[in-house]
Structure 1
Amino acid sequence: MPISSEHAGRTYPPTAPYEVSAAKIGEFAQALGDANPAYAGPDLVAPPTFVTVVVQPAWQLMFDDPDLGIALHRIVHAEQRFSYQRPLRPGDRVTVALTLDQVRNRDTADFITASARVETVEGEHLCTGTAVFVHTKVAA
């Protein structure tokens, strides 16, 4: 059965813990070309978009869900927003739990809204990332 509004509310188990490190934060900031001093030094924090590194395995659970019939080569990441409680820091060990918030089927595309709740392994809520994906359908 292809993805439909009936799949809204589906949740996926938390991802395996990911340990945030100063090295990974530095690599990410360098890839962005962002020399913000907040991303270096003894009290560094991760750039706001670093959380996409952590969230990607949760998205992959959704993409690989056989019940949804999603083909990754037909996905466009259309929108992304983050709501932070605090920034990620080196030493944070985090997991991500994904929920399908909304699925809208329109003509040749499916619009999938998913939220990813990022928490430390101790249960501290750090961030929620919400993404909208556009999945084009196979022509009939």
Structure 2
Amino acid sequence: MPISEEHIGRTYPATAPYEVGRAKISEFAAALGDADNPAYSGTDPVAPPTFAVVLASAAWGAMFDDPELGLSLSRTVHVDQRFAWTRPLRAGDEVTATLTIEKVRARGTTAIIGIAVALSTTDGEALCTASSTLMHTSEEDAA
């Protein structure tokens, strides 16, 4: 059965903990062209806000591996991304990501899927919700 409105509310297990490291913060800031920003270095660096996508995308695997949904990353377009922050990610944070399917609108061979990935510390502190909209085309239309 392909993804449908029946899958709204499906939540997948949290990812393994990821430790936010100073080197990864620095690498990510450099990739953004913002390596000189003092917020991303020093004794207590925070991660750039979009660093959350590194952790959120790790949670996508469970959804794409769910055989009930029939999803394929190769037939998916990432349409929109939003972040709702409680506090910035800091070096030393151990973070898990939990994905929930929030919306599904299937029309013909195309599905628009809204997902939310909740990022929290291993101690249970909520950090961020990374919300994405995906457009997926089923195999029948991929030819």
TM-score, normalisation: structure 1: 0.96
Q: Which runs of 5+ in 2 are unaligned?
A: none
Q: Which residue of 2 aligns with 1:23?
A: 23
Aligned positions of 1:49-88 closer than 5 A: 49-88=50-89
Aligned residues: 140
Q: Which residue of 2 aligns with 1:33?
A: 33
Return the alpha-carbon distance in structure 1 between the equivalents of residues 39 and 122 of structure 2. Answer: 24
Q: Which residue of 2 aligns with 1:122?
A: 123
Return the alpha-carbon distance in structure 2 between the equivalents of residues 84 and 72 of structure 1. Answer: 27
Return the alpha-carbon distance in structure 1 between the equivalents of residues 96 and 44 of structure 2. Answer: 22
1:29-76 CA-to-partner distances (Å, cap 9, x unmatched) read 111111322111112110000011111121111111111000110001
Q: Which runs of 5+ in 1 are unaligned?
A: none
1:85-132 CA-to-partner distances (Å, cap 9, x unmatched) read 000000000111110001100233100100011010000000011001
Amino acid at match of 1:116: V
TM-score, normalisation: structure 2: 0.94
CA contact (8 A) 2:71 2:138 kept: no
Q: Which moved more, 1:7-16 or 1:26-35?
A: 26-35
Q: Which residue of 2 aligns with 1:47?
A: 48
Cα RMSD after superposing both structures: 1.1
2:103 is the alignment partner of 1:102: yes
